[in-house]
Amino acid sequence: MSTTLLRTPLYDRHVALGARLVPFAGWEMPVQYEGVIPEHRAVRADAGVFDVSHMGELEVEGPRALDLLQSLLSSDVAQVEPGHARYTLLTNERGGIVDDLIAYRVDRFRWLLVVNASNRDTDHAWLKEHEISGSDVRDVSDEYALLAVQGPHAIEKLGFGPAPWNTFAEERIDGVECMVNRTGYTGEDGCEILCMAEDAAQLWDGVLARGVTPCGLGARDTLRLEACLALHGNDITPDTDAISAGLGWTCALDKEFTGADELRRIKAEGPARKLVPFVMEDRAIPRHGMAIDGGGDVTSGTHSPTLDVGIGMGYVPSERAGVDTELQIDVRGKARRARIVKRPFYKKGEG
Amino acid sequence: MAAAESYPDDLKYHREHDWARIDGDEAVLGITWFAQDALGELVHFEAPSTGSNVKAGSSYGEVESVKAVSDVIAPLSGEVLEVNQAAVDAPETVNEDPYGSGWLIRIRLADPGEVDALLDLDAYKQVLAEQ
């Protein structure tokens, strides 16, 4: 029995562009149009657009919305003013990561959480379960479409002016009202644009008309890995604590939130394993699940189009987590050498 | 830049999307346009060593793209005489010219009789129609 895959409002556009479509988190999504490598390069050098409408949007509203989010999110979100956003974690009692997300403060009593497609229902249920009187949680994902426009020329091609990272504002593109968020998952400048689902095709057409290259999930993965950004389900899960994952910086440990006690303990004692980035020194491409000598494992791996070498992230015992440590990765039965590097692999402007 | 779809009629084919160009008691082997298109731009070719033996129907190496790894199946048995260094150093050559400069290995045939079991172009096109 096959489950029907969901489609974003832009499905027909992807088909018309000749995209290769694959299942992802229950959705039928474009993995590539022209090819992963040219699309990756377009984002690094110019501007690319990704349909990420499959992601979830949860609205949290009410006079006690802040109290609810403070108790569940790792960051001190009281500091986030309307018009600002914060990358943060939804944690469990073990300090593990239920999801990583961006929380947007729309106004004093209203928040929008943009969450991973694969965790939309879990996150909604988690928040609903903890809903307190004065806070209302709604899954508004189907009302919206989301396009990520990324690259050094993205903002200029869209005709916007500069704005600080992690802020957002209302704009119009070809008559479409949208929320333009200065956020991204590629390591480049750019924005993520939220619009009503029924306006998605018009917005997409407008972005393409401005000379932005359509890019699929394949390039999205190579770009985020070069920038050392975690992928939930691969690098971070409910079983990986935020400290081991190197995401302690998102945790306000002087605040009370789910799992704060456990995270404080792990931080004080030092984690047993750490998530580290590495480059291959032998010609090989590391892949999720491959064993690292000494008791580690690869959580993400790919060929880096910018560096032209295999790159990856994985957990290794903390005593082996230092920069320049040599690792051996079991690549389909053969031991291949790798070296831990300082994050990120790639910094914008250095390509 | 990938090549336009083509399947030369002077080659022999294997249903695992590999080709062989017979040259006396030697053969040059590679992957077809269909295989390179399915994989996407290749970033790695794990080649066998010269002097090693390949067996018809078995894998003799791997080609890898950003998203996928694939075994390369030998259409014929023999001893590896030469590995195409261009395919090792610049795997995208295989996408650009899968039947020319993107050849993978050259072998000395162990059993020329095996050639009869390979597909001609029409038979391979049938295989493609089934994909």
What DSSP letter does each residue of A131-192 carry, written as one string? --TT-EEEE-GGGEEEEEEESTTHHHHHT-----TTBEEEEEETTEEEEEE---SSSSSEEE
Q: Do B66 and A305 touch (CB under 8 A)?
A: yes
Q: Cβ of B71 under 8 Å from any chain A Cβ?
A: no
**Statement: residue B121 has pLDDT above 80:** yes
Q: Which residues contact A301 (CB under 8 A, 6 or more apart)?
A: A225, A285, A286, A287, A288, A290, A310, A311, A312, A313, A314
Q: Cβ of B70 under 8 Å from any chain A Cβ?
A: no
Decide: helix, strand or coil at residue A333.
Answer: coil
The residue in chain B having the minimum alpha-carbon distance to the alpha carbon of residue A302 is B66
**Statement: residue B45 has pLDDT above 90:** yes
The residue in chain A having the minimum alpha-carbon distance to the alpha carbon of residue B69 is A285
Q: Cβ of A216 under 8 Å from any chain B Cβ?
A: no
Q: Do B66 and A37 touch (CB under 8 A)?
A: yes
What is the reported pLDDT for A350?
Answer: 64
Separation between Cα atoms, residue A217 and residue A23, nearest integer Å: 11
Whole-model pTM: value is: 0.93
Measured between beta carbons, the chain B residues lying within 8 angstroms of A287 are 69
Measured between beta carbons, the chain B residues lying within 8 angstroms of A305 are 66
Q: Are A52 and A157 in contact (CB under 8 A)?
A: no
Percentage of chain B lying above the pLDDT 70 cut: 99
Q: Do B44 and A285 touch (CB under 8 A)?
A: yes
What is the reported pLDDT for A2?
Answer: 58
Average pLDDT by consecutive 10-residue portion of chain A (351 residues)? 85 97 96 96 98 98 97 97 97 97 97 98 96 95 98 97 96 96 97 98 98 98 97 98 97 97 98 98 96 97 96 98 97 96 84 50
Shortest distance between the Cα of A4 and any Cα of chain B, in A, equals 22
Q: Count interface pairs A-B at CB distance under 8 A.
A: 35
Separation between Cα atoms, residue A200 and residue A9, nearest integer Å: 6
User: A 247-306 residues with CB below 8 A of B?
Assistant: 283-285, 287, 302-303, 305
Q: Do B44 and A222 touch (CB under 8 A)?
A: no
A125-A129-A130-A136 Cα dihedral, nearest 10 degrees: 70
What is the reported pLDDT for B47?
Answer: 96
Q: Do B40 and A32 touch (CB under 8 A)?
A: yes
Q: What is the mean pLDDT of residues B87-109?
A: 97
Q: Cβ of B128 under 8 Å from any chain A Cβ?
A: no
Shortest distance between the Cα of A216 and any Cα of chain B, in A, equals 12
| pLDDT tens digits, B12-37 | 999 999 999 999 999 999 999 999 99
Nearest to B65 by CA among A20, A25, A343, A47: A20
What's the complex ipTM?
A: 0.83
Shortest distance between the Cα of B41 and any Cα of chain A, in A, equals 7
